[in-house]
Chains A and B, each alone.
Chain A
Amino acid sequence: MAENQYLAPDAKLPYCRGCGHAAVVRHLSRALERLQLPPRSIALTTDIGCVGLADSLFPYLHTVHTTHGRSTAFATGMALAEVVLEPGGLKPVVMIGDGGAMIGLLHLVHAAQLNVDITVLLHNNFLFGMTGGQHSALTPLDFATATTPGGNWTPPLDLVALLRAAHAGFLARHLATDAALDATIAEAIAYPGFALVEILELCTAYGTRWNQLTGSKLKEIIARQGYQVGRLEAEAGRPTLRELYRRAPPSRPARAAAPEAEKPMTASPLTAELRLVVAGSAGERVQSAAALFCRAALAAGLYTTQKNDNPVTQGTGFSLAEICLSPRPIEYTGMENPDVVIVASGDGWKELQANGTFARCRPETLLLIDAELEAPPAQGRLLRLELRRAASPSRAALAGLAAWLVLSPFLPDAAWQAALATLSADRRAEPSEALRMGRELRADRTGTNP
């Protein structure tokens, strides 16, 4: 295959004289020649910076010129798609600078973890070339840059070591001038997973302006950092992404499917819209009681909306559900004036006070309150029930709903049966018991709340 399948022979390299980037594009071209890969099987994905000027030099490859630091992530997206598109054969090759590697560090880490089949050529010239020679996270100690004029005082990031910790399968490091670089790049591209080759090079515009640098000085810097060159230790035997993805345990079937009612099994006598609030404590099945109630309502041909609320940490504090119930489709899902308020715990009580629900109750509102709680500062008819003591805290909310339905029989028993039937057999006993207990609860005091 002729070289012009890759790097255009007449390509005018857009870099400053002596820039290491020029050596890398030639090595890359030779690596592709070695592999004899069809040009359309490569997606040359370039980052921002001088390093990103390379795409126009390869007229037959697919090229994707991206944003600063994100080239790895776009390439990862393409490689992920390969797993879905069988038989995939695209190999993204990323060209990124040390600046791009710094801002896009997480993409490199995740690509290594995923073991996506991409090859990253990290052009480490110790600084940001295109923007004028500023310091990056990979700048060596004492190295002078536009933004560390007295020499860099933060130790450089060893990206190879970092990616080893991220389980990269292929890692190598070379000087741009190493004759072995093209063979290494070829190996990296052939490797069926994440591969990174760090290429140490000089920016002749800025690197050599502020630092006394020659080829041997570069080697000295590398030695001082303890960097090794050549093919480096990595987790070479990792399964490919395709294998990993196939091996992933299949997703379990969705939780008990929401009930589907072809037609209402039992008509509800409800003729107007009703708004209920059920409040209690996190972990005491308030929202799941409301969900079961909505399923029963659905089975009875009604429309419902259920709007839950809880503190940001879901496991503590209050838990509440606001339910609208109607024979017709429901618009507004909030609680301008609740018709029924069921309070199963002190946490719930406090939240209804805080969020203004009590204040919005009207004289007709039915307040169904656990017997241990104080009378709320709300208008309405108050009904105290032994929700927590007789039914238990985790059954209190559902028992409260069942108790209310004894007074206002909007949901026939068959609807509850249909709702329970949507639960897996081992999860039916608890709510059945809560419902039974709720129906048997007796109000110990009724009256109108002040």
Chain B
Amino acid sequence: MPRRLCSGNRMVAEGALAAGCRFFAGYPITPASEIYEVMMRELPRHGGMALSAPDEISSLCYCVGASLRGLKAMTATSGPGWALMIETLQYALMTETPVVIAVVQRLGPSTGGATQGAQGDVWLTEFATSGGYTIPVFCPSTAAECHDLTVHAFNWSERLRTPVVLLSDKEVGMTTEVVDDAVLATPPAVERADFAGGRPFLTYGFAQPEEVPAFAAVGGEVKVTVTGSAHDQQGRLRKNAPEVIEVLRHLERKIEVHAEEMELARTDLDPGASHLVVSYGITARAARQAVAALRREGVRVSFFQAQTLFPIPRRALDWALAGVENVLVAEENLTGQYRAVLARCLEGKRVVGINRIGGLIAPGEIVQAVRAAEA
């Protein structure tokens, strides 16, 4: 099996192709541009269409339009572009339209540091909807994970008919590293469930709130009624109808019931550990190295890398937390965004944040923090 040199961004694009992506619209922004460039080059060869959009709002609207027509679609951007996409993201959520957005983080706020990494968009990606709906977010730490998590992102997006974010960052995206194709753990591609007939079609039909409505493409045989306004199962704009509220609950419920199934985490547990280092994305790499160094010194420490950031991988986390006193959450942002989100899962533990902006968190900083917690 070949080993090759690849950037994380390139592996996101390859993952999209492996997942069956057939439409891509993009707009240049460091550090995500390489995904756009690779898709422009490769997608036409795979029977799809890749296109330059005139802004990020258009990028995502084009993707949603193509997905409504039945194509698997993706776009890629960074914080500033993501900010422009949020209205359309909510539309995709409300209209139950599958679409994947790769957000390659850079230093913010505003234009921030275009060529500097960060993990500062955890809140901005997850808490981007009116109503506070769960946006599934997957977060790779290596080029290989970029590939596999992109396929997972597509699969969940198609399966649940909902927008999904692949949250990468400049360091994972633009660093070139050796990828061993033999160790990729790529899941098979999942297709959205098409309406099979046999009953009247409802664009947003479900018998139980957790069910995902069967999909029919705009342009197909059955009439499709798409709307971003509060609607009933048929897609009719209604106000003050209990069914509308039921549909809104269903949007969250269909994700909630799959939360456990969506859990992806890399754990390395020591049953006698009193410390658990929690991390994700680029910082998980420093954390793994720190944990190995600590163990060489005889420190009992466990490690948890969230690959699914949202829904929170609660079951895997609870397992990792058993018997642990101190939880150290390492992430490259100022305020401990994921730590704050995890707080409700960490009751009764001593929680320590390891944070930094403007540069990678080094393994030494994590080692020191664990040692300080020992004392």
List chain A positions with a Cβ less than 8 A from chain B.
Answer: 39-41, 43, 55-56, 59-67, 70, 73-85, 88-90, 106-107, 109-110, 245, 250-252, 254, 258-262, 291, 294-295, 298, 302-312, 329-334, 336
Residues of A with C-beta under 8 A to B4: 258-261, 298
- Whole-angstrom distance from the CB of A284 to the nearest CB of chain B? 18
Assess whether B178 is in contact with A304, with CB atoms less than 8 Å apart: yes
Closest-CB distance, A337 to chain B (whole angstroms): 9
- CB of B219 within 8 A of CB of A67, answer no
Taking a contact as CB atoms under 8 Å apart, the answer to whether B41 and A254 are in contact is: yes
Check if B54 sits within 8 Å of A110, measured CB to CB.
yes
Return the CB mask of B1-13 against A: 1 if under 8 Å, else 0: 1111110000000
Ranked nearest first, the 5 interchain pairs of A and B with the lowest CB-CB distance are A77-B65, A73-B61, A260-B2, A90-B219, A81-B69
How far is it, in angstroms, between the C-alpha of A77 and the C-alpha of B88 when the chains are bound? 13
Q: Which residues of A contact B316 (CB under 8 A)?
A: none
Chain A interface secondary structure, helix, strand, loop or mixed? mixed
B49 near A74 (CB under 8 angstroms)?
no
Binds A, one of B123-131, B206-214, B284-292: B284-292
- Determine if B48 and A305 form an interchain contact, defined as CB atoms under 8 angstroms apart: no
Complex partner residue of A40 from B47, B57, B223, CB under 8 angstroms? B223
Is there an interface contact between B88 and A70, defined as CB atoms closer than 8 Å? yes
The 13 listed contacts between A and B (C-beta, < 8 Å) are A56-B236, A70-B87, A77-B25, A81-B70, A83-B49, A84-B71, A109-B54, A110-B53, A251-B41, A260-B3, A291-B176, A305-B175, A311-B115
Besides A64-B224, A329-B178, A333-B285, 19 more A-B contacts (Cβ < 8 Å) are A55-B225, A59-B223, A63-B227, A65-B227, A70-B91, A76-B58, A77-B23, A77-B69, A83-B49, A106-B58, A260-B4, A298-B178, A306-B177, A308-B174, A312-B30, A312-B115, A332-B289, A333-B360, A336-B363
A15 to chain B, nearest CB (A): 15
Indicate if the CB atoms of B176 and A294 lie closer than 8 Å. yes
Q: Is the CB of B71 within 8 A of A106?
A: no
Q: Does B83 reach chain A (CB closer than 8 Å)?
A: no
- CB nearest neighbor in B for A71: B61
Interface of B is mostly: mixed
Evaluate contact between A107 and B3: CB separation under 8 angstroms.
no
Contacts of A259 in B (CB 8 A): 4-5
* A78 and B360 contact, CB distance less than 8 A: no
Q: How far is the CA of A16 from the CA of B364 in the complex (A)?
A: 69
Alpha-carbon distance A252/B225, docked complex (angstroms): 41
Residues of A within 8 A of B3 (CB): 260-261, 298
> Which B residues between 1 and 51 are near A, CB-CB below 8 angstroms?
1-6, 22-23, 25, 30, 40-42, 44-45, 47-49, 51
Supposing A40-B223, A43-B218 touch, asked if A332 and B57 sit within 8 A by C-beta, the answer is: no
For residue B45, give the distance in angstroms from its CB to the closest CB of chain A. 7
A251 and B5 in contact, given A109-B54, A332-B286 (Cβ under 8 angstroms): no
B-side contacts of A250, CB under 8 Å: 44
A306 touches B175 (CB 8 A): yes
Contact of B48 among A61, A66, A84 (CB under 8 A): A84
Give the docked Cα–Cα distance between A85 and B178 (Å): 37
